[in-house]
Amino acid sequence: MRRMNFARRKISAGIACLGLLFSCTSTIEESRQATGVKVGEVTDTSAIVWMRVTEKAQRRADGIVRRGRADKTKREELNPADLEGSVPGAPGRVRLRYGMKEDLSGARDTGWHEVDAGTDFTHDFRLSGLRPGTVYYYSAETSNPSGSVIHQPVQGRFKTAPPADEYADVRFTVITGQAYRDVDHADGFTIYESMAKLEPEFIVPTGDTVYYDSDDPLVTTLELARYHWQRMYSYPRHIALHLKVSGYWEKDDHDVYANDCWPTLVREFMGSFTFQDGLRVYAEQVPMGEKPYRTFRWGKGLQVWLVEGRDYRSPNPMEDGPEKSIWGEEQKQWLKDTLLASDVDWKVLVSPTPIVGPDRTSKHDNHSNDAFTYEGNEFRKWVQENLPDNFFIACGDRHWQYHSVHPETGVNEFSCGPASDEHAGGTPGEDRGYHKFHRLEGGFLSVSTKRSGDESLITFRLHAVDGSVVYEFGKSRQVK
């Protein structure tokens, strides 16, 4: 016992004094980052690192279990801290040390920043002046408000994009549909472990990351919305992936407000929680830039566009026509202008919702539905005329996997499928006029690009939840 205590004291002393990070008189406690660290919006020279201080080191395992479908007729008062999977935040300070050496020798230091309840105890560090095509290591560090108690740090890494005029092979993954009621492993979704084995450069969650209106408990307050994020991102598998892989988050209906929503929609069953509250919580919980629509390129080989499908949309019941839009005029013009301006080998639009489909006839909120036929036709036709050979769409939202080709315009779309087999369902069935592949199960999509001599290749792979490839499509083109 004496030897064990000595070892613990030695480790604690090393953590406290290593690199003179903290005062050696401070008390050292276990980690207080039970919702992990998220790195997002990575470019060749910048990144955003999200941190949060939590009361305890791990999610609550002994709380009241609320796992199932939400009851929209039931009114109840809940304290999220009493629930299984809850991770209350705590006042404190955060800082980030980061550099190109794994031992963090010569690392940069952001300095300390206080966090409080106003932002759910979160903070975004906006890093700039990074070196392109480089692996960065970081130590995410926290303390109590005065600094008298420090917590064991969390280490991670991320990779910056190559310079715009240089080529580098890349692989990324696309996911959707993370319903808590359908999580398929005690440590989180199986796809997180499967994606980690592929070692992607980044991941794109396309939305429906949480389900406010259909996962129990129903979100009726700001704190219940935050609870949904706490329990989703405190799973060990989810934390582990994001400590190694950066992300670019999109939102959809269920993780901003309610099914098929638009900005002015009000649902009585959502209580005091509003669409604007959903925007606030989303901005707290993921690393985001100034605009929800954006594009980034991974050197000369790949550029990815991320569109926003909720903030600017017209009401779904509005009569279809030139004035009705999912994207809004400003975003739509930006999308066309930037697609035309790009000189990369391959262009991939990642959309929270389908643009090609086909979808169920009962749905009325995306570009493959009758409710937005005008804008859908307009964009698909524009792609046919302006981006004939190197443009593809990857989409989330739908609870099945597919590769579709639009019959009139030839636009290709890949649906990544839901995060688990349990969440699969709702498909209208196989449509041989559209489908090159159709599968009613869960999984994810991976996209990879590579060059061999003067040939550039892009490959789309649909994976089962265990990572096995169930469908593959590739295309090549000659490049200079």
Query: 137-163, pLDDT tens digit by residue?
Result: 999 999 999 999 999 999 999 999 999
- pLDDT for res 9: 41
The DSSP code for 474 is E
Helix, strand, coil percent values for the chain (each to nearest 5) = 20, 25, 50
CATH 2.60.40.380 location in the chain: 30-54+89-159
Query: 403-416, pLDDT tens digit by residue?
Result: 999 999 999 999 99
Nearest Cα to Cα of residue 275 among 265, 260, 287, 285: 265
CB of 92 within 8 A of CB of 81? Answer: no
Task: Reply yes or no on domain 170-478 having CATH 3.30.1490.150.
Answer: no
Other Cβ atoms less than 10 A from the Cβ of 125: the count is 20
CB of 203 within 8 A of CB of 175? Answer: yes
Overall size of the chain counted in residues: 480
Would the pLDDT of 6 be above 80? no
DSSP 306-347: E--SSTTPPPTTSPPSTT--SS-HHHHHHHHHHHHH---SEE
CATH 3.60.21.70 location in the chain: 170-478
Integer CA distances (angstroms), 251 to 202, 204, 261, 279, 417, in order: 17, 11, 12, 9, 16
Strands 27-29 and 149-151, by their bridges, are parallel
β-bridge partners, 115: 92
Query: 73-119, pLDDT tens digit by residue?
Result: 988 889 999 999 999 999 999 999 999 999 999 999 999 999 999 99
Runs of H (alpha helix) within 89-199:
190-198
Q: In the chain, what percentage of residues exceed pLDDT 90?
A: 93
Please give the average per-residue pLDDT across 415-430, as a whole number: 97
CB of 254 within 8 A of CB of 213? Answer: yes
- pLDDT for res 354: 98
Would the pLDDT of 207 be above 70? yes
Would the pLDDT of 1 be above 80? no
- The answer to whether the bond into 418 is cis (omega within 30° of 0) is no
- pLDDT for res 23: 52
β-bridge partners, 350: 306, 394
Confidence of residue 388 (pLDDT cuts 50, 70, 90): confident
- pLDDT for res 165: 94
Cα 275 from Cα 386, distance rounded (Å): 36
Confidence of residue 16 (pLDDT cuts 50, 70, 90): very low
CB of 219 within 8 A of CB of 174? Answer: no
Query: 26-60, pLDDT tens digit by residue?
Result: 788 999 999 999 999 999 999 999 999 999 999 99
Cα 446 from Cα 172, distance rounded (Å): 6
Cα 156 from Cα 171, distance rounded (Å): 19
Return left, alpha or beta for 107; rule: phi > 0 is left, psi -120 to 50 is alpha, else beta. beta
User: Looking at domain 30-54+89-159, which CATH architecture does it have?
Assistant: Sandwich (2.60)
- The answer to whether the bond into 217 is cis (omega within 30° of 0) is yes
pTM passes above 0.85: yes
